[in-house]
Amino acid sequence: MFGFKKRRRQKLREEPFPAEGKKILEKKVGYYRLLSPEDQAELWGHIQVFLHEKQFEFLGGLEITDEIKVSIAAQACVLLLHRETDYYPTLKSIIVYPHEYYAEVSEHLPGGVVAEGIEDRAGESWHRGEVVLSWADIQEDNANPDDGFNVVFHEFAHQLDGESGEEEGTPILPDISLARRWAEVMSREYQRLNRDLDRQRKTLIDEYAAENPAEFFAVLTEHFFEIPQDLKAGHPEIYELFSAYYRQDPAARFARGS
């Protein structure tokens, strides 16, 4: 079974990537234009597999288009470049709304009180095999590949995090040495962020990262790919960890494009 899956994926990666898909990437996905020709070619193969294996659901009157599917697949697969991957194995479908949507939330307060309400969201990653995204936010991210914010990178980082069985800010790491270093650095930097926010200090890392270790990892993934030079300068140990995990060097990528 696993051999068949591997052969099928290899065949999909080797198929010619549609010319219309390349046009979408060139014109609509700003981050794609930062990639080297070699990375672009690798990405085409990953997109073919992703689109074959994942389902898309369009809600809120959103029209189904190749632009939406290719844009999402491309950014999700940027996180897979240069390493062995099982293509988000627990993910079954991507739900896309035309814009931010509303979700019910609950918060446990002191004294056993539970506060319930509604909040607007640009994306979510669900344990039962779904990612929810706002197309309006994706379009904004496509136009601004260097602002440090990317909802697809964020939500698919949660998917990578959850492959270990729990979302706790630690994806499956390739070796014990990196795992030990990861635990040390990420714990220290997470505490540092919370201290800085408590003291109202300005931080490079977005304050949403202080919500919990899972959000810390997802936000840092956005920063790693979109503001890598700033992250490398301000938090070199984090940059080193993420470069080792993702096997990419976005700082050099941005330097080449400048």
User: Smallest Cα–Cα separation from 162: which of 133, 124, 136, 198?
Assistant: 124
- Report the CATH superfamily, name and number, of domain 1-163: Glucose-regulated metallo-peptidase M90, N-terminal domain (1.10.472.150)
- Looking at the chain, list the stretches that DSSP marks H as alpha helix, in order from N- to C-terminal side: 2-14, 19-28, 37-53, 66-78, 135-143, 151-162, 176-198, 213-226, 228-234, 236-246, 250-257
- pLDDT, one tens digit per residue, over 54-91 is 999 999 899 999 999 999 999 999 999 999 999 999 99
Model confidence band, residue 165 (pLDDT cutoffs 50, 70, 90):
confident
- Nearest to residue 153, comparing CAs of 97, 206, 224, 214? 224
- Among residues 42, 44, 56, 52, the alpha carbon closest in space to that of 20 is found at 44
Residue 32 DSSP label: G
pTM above 0.75, yes or no: yes
Radius of gyration of the CA atoms of the chain, in A: 18
Domain with CATH 1.10.472.150 in the chain: 1-163
Strand partners, 94: 56, 131
Tokens of 75: 């950014």
Q: What is the structure's pLDDT at 8?
A: 96
Write the DSSP string, 38-91.
Answer: HHHHHHHHHHHHHHHH-EEEE-TTPPP-HHHHHHHHHHHHHTTTTS---SSTT-
Stated as kind and residue range, the H or E segment containing 134 is strand 130-134
- What confidence tens digit (pLDDT) does each residue in 12-62 have? 999 999 999 999 999 999 999 999 999 999 999 999 999 999 999 999 899
Confidence band (pLDDT; 50, 70, 90) for 115?
A: very low
Mean pLDDT of the chain: 92
150: Cβ contacts below 8 Å, ≥ 6 apart: 31, 75, 141, 222, 225, 226
The whole-number pLDDT of residue 109 equals 47
Maximal CA-CA distance, the chain: 60
What are 178-231's pLDDT values in tens digits? 999 999 999 999 999 999 999 999 999 999 999 999 999 999 999 999 999 999
Residue of 5, 69, 15, 9 whose CA lies nearest to 41: 15
The set of residues, in sequence order, having a beta carbon less than 8 Å from that of 237 and lying 6+ positions away, is: 185, 189
Angle between helices 176-198 and 236-246 (to 10 degrees): 140
